């Protein structure tokens, strides 16, 4: 959990730089299940047209026996698990977005897209800079944390 939470906190810090209303572990999004935390981060920084419920996932490379891509497998699993509440979220203009990395730091396409959007928003908010540089900064911070996590797990 520690590595997951560190990656979540990195993404949250960048989201918060753009959207001061970003929330960690939001509660109360599903009225029928008020204690459910459907995602790690609720923010408007990651999507153009609605609020994103970002759900961070870290998967062990090679953990999947059914799919050659463990990031894709975890992404699909998370999406299936949240399928029953997606209409409830959509009614609130919230889209559930799993953002997954392998333990070696390779992001799923949805994670890449979210980081790209957040980086563009950060640059717009600052009024200067390069979105690619901000995106590299995010990837470097996440990669460092995943390497630290991987080294700790391997001991």
- Cα–Cα distance measured from residue 24 to residue 60, given in angstroms and rounded to the nearest whole number: 24
Q: Of 1-5, 82-86, 125-129, where does mean pLDDT reach its minimum?
A: 1-5
Bridge partners (DSSP) of residue 97 are 54
Q: 11-65 pLDDT, tens per residue? A: 999 999 999 999 999 999 999 998 999 999 999 999 988 999 999 999 987 655 5
Phi and psi at 28, nearest 5°, equal 80, 15
What beta strand segments (E) does 5-45 contain? Answer: 23-24, 41-43
- Cα–Cα distance measured from residue 33 to residue 83, given in angstroms and rounded to the nearest whole number: 14
Helix (H, G, I), strand (E, B) or coil at 68: coil
Per-residue confidence band for 128, with pLDDT thresholds at 50, 70 and 90: confident
Per-residue confidence band for 67, with pLDDT thresholds at 50, 70 and 90: low
List the structure tokens of 24. Answer: 């960690």
Per-residue confidence band for 97, with pLDDT thresholds at 50, 70 and 90: very high
List the structure tokens of 91. Answer: 């009614």
For residue 63, the model assigns a pLDDT of: 52
Bridge partners (DSSP) of residue 100 are 57
Alpha-carbon torsion (54, 81, 146, 26), positive or negative: positive
List the structure tokens of 5. Answer: 């939470």
Output helix, strand, coil percentages for the chain, rounded to the nearest 5. 50, 15, 35
Per-residue confidence band for 150, with pLDDT thresholds at 50, 70 and 90: confident
């Amino acid at each position: 959990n520690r590595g997951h939470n560190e990656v979540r906190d990195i993404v949250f810090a960048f989201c918060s730089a753009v959207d001061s209303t970003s929330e960690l572990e939001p509660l109360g999004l599903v009225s029928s299940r008020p204690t459910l935390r459907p995602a790690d981060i609720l923010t408007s920084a990651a999507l153009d047209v609605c609020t994103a419920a970002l759900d961070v996932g870290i998967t062990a490379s090679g953990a999947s026996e059914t799919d050659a891509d463990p990031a894709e497998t975890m992404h699909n699993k998370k999406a299936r698990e949240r399928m029953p509440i997606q209409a409830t979220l959509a009614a609130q203009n919230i889209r559930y977005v799993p953002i997954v990395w392998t333990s070696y730091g390779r992001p799923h396409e949805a994670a890449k897209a979210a980081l790209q959007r957040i980086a563009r928003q950060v640059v717009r908010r600052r009024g200067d800079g390069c979105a690619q540089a901000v995106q590299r900064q995010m990837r470097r911070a996440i990669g460092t944390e995943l390497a630290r996590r991987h080294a700790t797990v391997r001991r």
